[in-house]
Amino acid sequence: MHAVMDFGTGAIIGGLALSAGWGWLWLVIGSIGFARGTCSARVVMNSLAVGFSPLLLGWGLWWMRSEGFSPNVAFVTGLFVMPLFVVGLASRKASDGQRVGLHMTEGIRQLKDELLGAHHGCGGCGHDHGSDGAGGHP
């Protein structure tokens, strides 16, 4: 029974860690965008919430189980359940024949470009384009 509980605890903490990592990724991107003035403080605050909430929940779960708990094989195996589940979902084919992960990667790239203020007309070259065509581009 303890092995099942340890596996479940590992699976939950692994999923929360995955979610927290996602929040921290967008916190970095959102902070850069906020510093550049291309996105609002709301993006940064939402990313902080998504980054901290799973950590707090994971800490609470760890604290509740810590009395008679020592990490074992069942717990460590559980840590990999959610990341492997996400990889499995990403490797499925979408209705257009492409992998779902490719669609997700494209959506992430578009959102990142939007938050960072990448230039859409020139493919995101990063140059400062003036109204007179300065910056080396017509």
Residue 2 pLDDT level (bands cut at 50, 70, 90)? confident
Please, are residues 118 and 124 in contact by the beta-carbon 8 Å criterion? Answer: yes
**Six token digits for residue 20:** 């927290």
- pLDDT of residue 128 exceeding 70: no
Taking only the tens place, the pLDDT of each residue in 47-92 is 999 999 999 998 988 888 776 667 789 888 999 999 999 999 889 9
Taking only the tens place, the pLDDT of each residue in 10-55 is 899 999 999 999 999 989 988 998 998 888 899 999 999 999 999 9
What does each C-alpha distance from 40 to 32, 34, 54 come to in angstroms? 11, 6, 23
